[in-house]
Structure 1
Amino acid sequence: MDNLEFIVIDDDEGDCRAITRFLSRIFPKSNICSSLGDGAIVDQVEREPHVALVDYGLPGDNGIIRMEQLRISWPSTAFIIMTGQGDQEIARDSIKRGAIDYIQKNKISESSLERMVNSALAYAQIKMRMEDQQRELEIFSDVLIHDFKSPIRSINFLVDELKIGLEENDKASTDNVMRLLKRSASRMGTLMDSLGCHVSATREVTFEPASAFGIAEAAKEAIASVIAESSADIRLEFEDFELLCCAPQLSQLFQNLFSNSIKYSGENTPLVTVTASRDEPGKVTFQITDNGIGIPQEFRERAFEPFKRAPGATSVPGTGLGLATCRKVATRHGGKIWCDAESTDGTTIFLRLSIGEI
């Protein structure tokens, strides 16, 4: 496995060096950090590690307590507790409180470490998928319980109104009720489509080479009628390059961003500009900028949470799942998406992806 992030936390410098040396031989293309357990460990690494090997016998708090503290900042990390004591009670307590595995230091070798790390990564991935599925069930139930209530109430009311209009042979009233029924049905359809896109973003897919320009063009084609109706101008201002990705999912991501820019354009004719910069090897950052009403400063960090809609945006039709789906797709591709905290005109979204292996 390549591009893994490790951290070894052990106050014994000799043990720390030995384990780091083993890992570097087993996973030569990985980034391995080490810490003696002093100071703010989270601040010592740039990214959340895939695996953390933590010594039980750290000074002060033991390794299990330290693991529990670190899990707040590193919820996806696979933790392995190490000890020189060989105590079965420590082993049981480690697993019970969240460690993926446990090993005595005198049994650590390259083969045992490789086997343990691979098992820990596989287990952590399964656990993360189960947690994702649990969140999806919660989102699905929220939609069924809350978001469908309003259109269902409207339909029930309109059916009664339709009955009265038919009994009184009131064509004008009947036509109006039929129009409102169609709008309520359309709203329910939009809810289902948004939910379907959000749920499907975590399904197993095959990553294949695809044109970045072609992906963005496909997103434009998918909403061609909306672009035409709003006279929107979506400019793709970057040279084409290849991405290893699920093209339909990334196209859906761009489609959601373009649609949002058009919906929240205010009085302006929508203008969306997409640029891309390859600022470091193996990475690309897309910048999607529009001239719309913007996202309030205090809401920008929460904008990608499911069902979160900015104050003042409730008058615009939407489900609150568009940006949440974008974040799921970006995460699925080993990337990150965020809203520029400094922009004052319109909205600027950054999408950072790996170009190579996912």
Structure 2
Amino acid sequence: MEASKPRKNSGFVSYIIRNRMAFFCASVTLVISLLIWWHACAIYQADLLNDQHTQVEVQLAPYGDSLSSIIGHSTSHLEGMGSFVEANPSKEELDENFEIFASGIYSGSSVIRMIRLFPVSNESYVYPHSCNAAGYCRTFNNLMNDEDPARKAALQETIRTGRTVVSDPCELQEGDMAVVARRAIYINGSLWGIAVLSLDFPSMIANSGLTDIGDDFDISLQGLSGQTLFGSNDTLLRSPSVYQVSLPEGNWELAAVPSEGWSASIEGPLGLFQKGGLIISLLLTLLVYIVLSRDIFLKAEVEERTASLRESEGRYRQLFDSNSDPVFLVAEDSRIMDANTVAMELYGYTRDELLEMVACDLSAPSMRDPASSPMEDILKNGMQFQWVHITRDGREFPVDINARPMELNGERYILASVRDITANKEAEEAIRKSEKKYRGLFENNISEVVITEMVPDENGRPIDYVFLDVNSSFEKNIGLKAEDVVGKRVTEVYPGIEKRENTLLDLHREVAITGIPVSVEIYSEELNEYFIVNAYRLEENIVVGVSQKITERKLAEIEVRKLNAELEKRVAERTSELEKANKELEAFTYSVSHDLRAPLRAIDGFSRIILEDYVELLDDEGKRLLNVIRTNTQKMDKLITDLLGLSRIGRNKMHLTPVNMNIMVNSVYNDLMTNQNSNNIEFNVSDLPDSYADSSLIKQVWINLISNAIKYSSSRDKSVIDVGAYTEDGMNVYYVKDNGVGFDPKYSHKLFGIFQRLHSEKEFPGTGVGLAIVQRIAKRHGGDVWAESELNNGATFYFSLPIKDGYDVYGE
């Protein structure tokens, strides 16, 4: 027994010794294979992550392209709105056509929330009316003074660049979240206003399919300002795959990571690879002994990786098919490798039929020339372009294609998103027709129309201009053919024009520099004609001139000026004659005053002497007759005095001074009450505003009106006279109100005529001239006089004087 143990040990040791190289090689192989395996695991993990990122990007691309297409398609309407405003520049046209135009845009989109126009000078236009009441309250000035920095910056950017500016979603006053797209509208180089589209953000997200992406991914959409618009902020912290969503200005970033993280998504394949690597290392070490085991492990690894790829393909298929636009996966040789359900519905083919086709099979026959194929450019950098496709039933339609190159499993492919733009093309055709119509207006305008481009010097100042276009009226009225002037400078067409002043060249130069439209009359020495020219700047260095010959009118104006000069001379002669007649009238007035009143005073005086000295010789009838004579001569004298006063009011120059109306009224009343009993009169004076007037004339007004009030209310037990004033339409209006007998309003037009009386002489004595004097004085001061009354219920007489600072002469 003891002898056998050494033999066994000796045999095992000799076995080891005999195979020590094998063990050494196996050990070296094991170490090397482990090192290789460790490095391979790191590379494989990176490849898995890259593949996973690529697959996520592929799955994000349809959503990002869809969202970009939705925004691009929607904001393209802003350019159409600019064309619409140019076609309908007046407020009346906008009022009539805006709702029709806006409803066409609104009905064709599921994401447009609100369409607004903010003219610089008018009220805003909003469509639709319902649920957008707040939009009516905002004007262009409200936009310019917006307190929100982001909105104000977006507005200033579009005004500065003239391009569409899309902002991050914000909350509208109606409570919804919307993406606001703004575009400044310029007409003839001047800012007309702002066009604004509000795009419903939830609808955009829903239409792009992001809400249907499922639970396999965590999605985040980041705005221009870095704000998270959709999804979770945490996504951005987990090394997401990012897809750039193109906007008219800038990009949004669509980011995604697997819900369980990148490590979890590659854990299976990486674990298998690690195990396989360890097995391979052992297999290499024990290659002689376990060759067959290697196949088993490799097969298991392939099966598990295949299952994982199938699962990933299923998720990709779900995202691919849920896109709202047709999406194609095209191989490098143009074969269609995949298509979503929307593509099958639009083109009318089954999936199997599409997979047997190449990309050019979907092109219209006129677009199938291989020389015009964009495949090479797409594979280099990607492209967004317009094309014409055809459906299975032969219907051709325009499309917008967004195609990007990508790589899957080492193969190059093209992912193409297609959008039907038939509606856009129809809108463009409508715009082209509109341009044709306005070209017709240009050609058929009866005025001469020229479009010119200014030629600057080395300092950028315009010194000449080139004719770009002229209309037929220019050719007809100016006598120059279009081919003789278009493309030529004005100094070539009219040599020496730059040396003269106030020419068309000067006019165009001024408009080009200032940008301010100008309308002037110009005499053309070259044509010996007068023109009225309207010029405005269409855009930088482009000036439009609209002219019309006015030679006949100008000659007529010159003739009129000659006639006016002759007429002024004749008026001066007539004025001199009138002044001479006025002097004669004044002399006659003096004669009447002196020669006519002297006999009347003699009659009155001798009648008084007879009554005083010979009273005992007269019977009662004689005394009565002499009193009648005296009374009538006194009336005649009073009448002559009033008529002479009325005549002097129209001739004498007024001397205007500040008049304290309260002092004057009280003074007049006290003077009138000197010889009368004032106990039965209630005289009330309100606070009266001062006026600038001729004090003597205004005093006469107060004397006549207050004395009339006293006279016509004398039959009352208690006379009540109110004097007051108020201000209206730049006039101080004064009034005298009494409780007297009044007058019938239907005869009020006779009140201010000479000798017009509404009461008999026996009731109330007077000459019938006093109110005519009042009217003439008020008119001379630039005022007026009127009255209100009811029979037996008192009367109110008004007169007005202008409110005017200083000592200017009022009225005539």
- Using the size of structure 1 for normalisation, the TM-score is 0.53
Q: For the residues of structure 1 that align with 2:781 and 2:662, how far apart are their CA atoms?
A: 17
Which residue of the other structure, out of 192, 211, 217, is the alignment partner of 2:660?
211
* Residues 1:252 and 2:700 are matched in the alignment: yes
Q: For the residues of structure 1 that align with 2:738 and 2:615, how far apart are their CA atoms?
A: 51
Q: For the residues of structure 2 that align with 1:255 and 1:167, how far apart are their CA atoms?
A: 37
Q: Match for residue 180 of structure 1?
A: 628
> Structure 1: any 5+ residue segments left out of the alignment?
1-82, 102-119
Q: Secondary structure at the match of 2:674?
A: helix
Q: Match for residue 290 of structure 1?
A: 738
Q: Match for residue 118 of structure 2?
A: none
Matched-pair contact (CA < 8 Å) for 2:642–2:770: yes
Q: Secondary structure at the match of 2:709?
A: helix
The one-letter amino acid paired with 1:250 is I
* Residues 1:225 and 2:695 are matched in the alignment: no
Q: Match for residue 756 of structure 2?
A: 308
Q: Secondary structure at the match of 1:340?
A: strand
How far does residue 201 in structure 1 lie from its aligned partner after superposition? Answer: 2.1
The one-letter amino acid paired with 1:191 is L
Matched-pair contact (CA < 8 Å) for 1:222–1:255: no
Q: For the residues of structure 1 that align with 2:615 and 2:707, how far apart are their CA atoms?
A: 42
Q: How does 1:110-189 map to 2 (within 5 A)?
A: 169-170=617-618, 175-189=623-637
Q: Secondary structure at the match of 1:294?
A: coil
The one-letter amino acid paired with 2:753 is E
Q: Secondary structure at the match of 2:750?
A: coil
Q: Match for residue 499 of structure 2?
A: none
Which residue of the other structure, out of 556, 569, 579, is the alignment partner of 1:86?
556
1:15-71 Cα offsets, whole Å, 9 max, x none, are xxxxxxxxxxxxxxxxxxxxxxxxxxxxxxxxxxxxxxxxxxxxxxxxxxxxxxxxx
How far does residue 302 in structure 1 lie from its aligned partner after superposition? Answer: 2.4
Which structure has the larger Rg over C-alpha atoms?
2
Q: For the residues of structure 1 that align with 2:731 and 2:673, how far apart are their CA atoms?
A: 30
Q: How does 1:229-240 map to 2 (within 5 A)?
A: 231-237=680-686, 239-240=687-688
| Number of aligned residues | 240
Percent of paired sites with the same residue: 20
1:158-210 Cα offsets, whole Å, 9 max, x none, are 96xx69x9598236566545543432332223213322332232311210112
> Structure 2: any 5+ residue segments left out of the alignment?
1-552
Q: Which runs of 4+ in 1 moved over 6 A?
A: 91-96, 341-344
How far does residue 291 in structure 1 lie from its aligned partner after superposition? Answer: 0.9
- Using the size of structure 2 for normalisation, the TM-score is 0.25
How far does residue 293 in structure 1 lie from its aligned partner after superposition? Answer: 1.3
How far does residue 333 in structure 1 lie from its aligned partner after superposition? Answer: 1.2
Q: Match for residue 785 of structure 2?
A: 337
Change in Cα spacing, 1:195 to 1:234, as seen in structure 2 (3 Å) is farther
Q: For the residues of structure 1 that align with 2:637 and 2:721, how far apart are their CA atoms?
A: 27
Q: For the residues of structure 2 that align with 1:210 and 1:353, how far apart are their CA atoms?
A: 12
Matched-pair contact (CA < 8 Å) for 2:732–2:801: yes
Q: How does 1:263-302 map to 2 (within 5 A)?
A: 263-265=711-713, 267-268=715-716, 269-280=718-729, 282-302=730-750
Matched-pair contact (CA < 8 Å) for 1:230–1:262: no
Question: Would you tell me which structure has more strand in proportion to its own residues?
Answer: 2
Q: Match for residue 776 of structure 2?
A: 328
1:125-152 Cα offsets, whole Å, 9 max, x none, are x79x97x969x99xx7xx99xx99xx97
Which residue of the other structure, out of 613, 629, 639, is the alignment partner of 1:191?
639
Considering Cα pairs closer than 8 Å and 6+ residues apart, tell me whether 1 or 2 has the greater RCO: 1
Q: How does 1:11-160 map to 2 (within 5 A)?
A: 84-86=554-556
Matched-pair contact (CA < 8 Å) for 1:340–1:348: yes
Q: Secondary structure at the match of 1:305?
A: coil
Q: For the residues of structure 1 that align with 2:642 and 2:679, how far apart are their CA atoms?
A: 21
Q: Match for residue 800 of structure 2?
A: 352
Matched-pair contact (CA < 8 Å) for 1:339–1:348: yes
Q: For the residues of structure 1 that align with 2:675 and 2:582, how far apart are their CA atoms?
A: 32
Q: For the residues of structure 1 that align with 2:568 and 2:761, how far apart are their CA atoms?
A: 43
The one-letter amino acid paired with 2:779 is T
Change in Cα spacing, 1:171 to 1:298, as seen in structure 2 (3 Å) is same
Q: Secondary structure at the match of 2:655?
A: coil
How far does residue 219 in structure 1 lie from its aligned partner after superposition? Answer: 2.0
Change in Cα spacing, 1:294 to 1:90, as seen in structure 2 (3 Å) is same
Matched-pair contact (CA < 8 Å) for 2:646–2:773: yes
How far does residue 240 in structure 1 lie from its aligned partner after superposition? Answer: 4.3
